[in-house]
Structure 1
Amino acid sequence: MAGDNLTIVVEFILLGFSEVPSLQGFLFCIFLIIYLGVLIGNGLLIVIIKMDPALQTPMYFFLGNFSFLEICYTSVTLPRMLADLWTQKRTISFLACAVQFCFLYMLGMAECLLLAVMAYDRYVAICKPLYYPLIMNQKLCVQLVVASWVIGVPVIIGETYQTFCLNFCGPNKLDHFFCDVAPILKLVCGDSYITEVSVQLSAFAYLLIPSLLILTSYVKIIITILNLPSSSGRTKAFSTCSSHLVVVGLFYGSGSIVYFQPKSSYSRGSLKVFSLFYATVTPMVNPLVYSLRNKDVIAVLKKLLHK
């Protein structure tokens, strides 16, 4: 208490699944399975890529980094959700909420950029195959991955500082599973319009720019593939891109619904469902998409199982 009528919020209460108390145990099991699926699926993909010399190519280098990023991304939210479901405590300190918010958006931004890098890699491989080894050399690959991880860090730290420096003096019940921007801004006392616009513009820029790069790359890829003389060549080229397109669609589709849905159409239930989808389900599905649709990965996996 800073005075008789002024309360300073020092912690938030994550409501999460509090409206269905009878399902807490069942939901704990479901999300534990999802988290184990993320760890095992993406971890196995990283091991397969590291172990087999045939997979030491730029495409699999980016895929391995993407799998590691997915593990980090889900580890920001899922362990906390599991702890809340197990203990029924649901409280998170102001600082812990800010840290979770910061890492969630830093890793989400890194994922957007890395997906764009992977699209560029496919563009060079299909549209400029003779120059592929020269352009996508090891130095450039490392630089692209490092840039994907760090380029958004200053922006997100600034957004986090701007958001959590707002005045939180009223209710502290956060109607979400983790510290996301929309439910946090609902608890702000006073005008948060400037912060809301700033966050929306940042999200728009970091979703729009990579998506335009991905779209441009795939337009050129499709034009090149359609001009290939043999049908087998077209099929092989399409198969190398289809997995990436599925992952891009899942991530960008659910993320766009959450962050660009008009305020007038906000639904508490739909917002939480789509947030859960892109934060938990998509990272679990990604290794399945890449492995089941990739003959090289399946062949290495069969060798490992045989051994």
Structure 2
Amino acid sequence: MNAPAPAPGCVLITSAARKVWLVEAFRRALAAEGGGEVLAADCDALAPALYRADRGLRLPRADAPGYEATLLDLCRRERVELLVPTRDAELPWFAERRARFAEIGTRVLVSAPAAIERCRDKRAFADFCAAHGFATPPAVTLPAAADDFPLFAKPRIGQGSGGARRIESAAGLAGLDAEHWIVQRFDGGPEYTLDVCAGFDGTVLSVVPRRRLQVLAGESITGVTVMDPALVELGAAVVRALGLIGHATVQCFHDAAGSRLIEVNPRFGGGAALGFAAGADSPRWLLRLARGGSVEPQLGCQRDGLYLLRHSHDVFVAAEDVCR
């Protein structure tokens, strides 16, 4: 008599915060790929995504003593097949520990440490672009000349749009140093995000360019897919050159003069749901690959002219149901 097939494992999303759209996407993926549960974890018991997952979990902060042992034990106990980090600051931590999680059967959706560092350090990213022939807004050496303005300054290592700002005069450069900041000529061209999905072997499966029409706190709240072949090729080329896996968001300016790269975030970005809706279901594809299946590349065949109109949504939780 054949033994019964083991129950499907789980997907764990860390730093789930308000990423309800990502939790729901992985729930759909699991339903389509044989079942399983989405576990959403955060250190904040009132993170909305905890209450839209199959189960919400409150975990200690990543810098708390014993965090690694706690997380490994959780993944082992719950049979986590795929772990999805979502916060920039936690990516290096997971990248350094991919092998430890793999030993217990958990694949972490994170690229190699060197690739993560090239994306996090904006100066290293600018150097990478110069070495590989990718255009970026021209860098400015401080102190700036009078005819350099306007400029755009951003922290060399940061997350989201924190600290980034347009600078109109020399007075705006006060307190900025070349070690901790990168300053470039201001580029007023149309801004695009290229949602790129690459398999665990680095094969690029899809690229969905979307124009960022409205941005709030660094995240796109209104956008539209623009299936421009030049942008599709750019996204694929950048991700291949960086050696990234999983979902990445490539940000650039693009107009008749060409494309200028801004940065690459090697994780799911806030507007990624538009790419899912356009036909690039990266959560489902990555889950299928993690379970040993295959996915054929689908470059350039996603839906053009699809709009994302993001809005807030209320979540109500009884006191007795708050994650402890």
**TM-score (structure 1 length as normaliser):** 0.23
Higher strand share: 2
Higher helix share: 1
Kindly name which structure, 1 or 2, has the bigger radius of gyration based on alpha carbons. Answer: 1
**TM-score (structure 2 length as normaliser):** 0.22
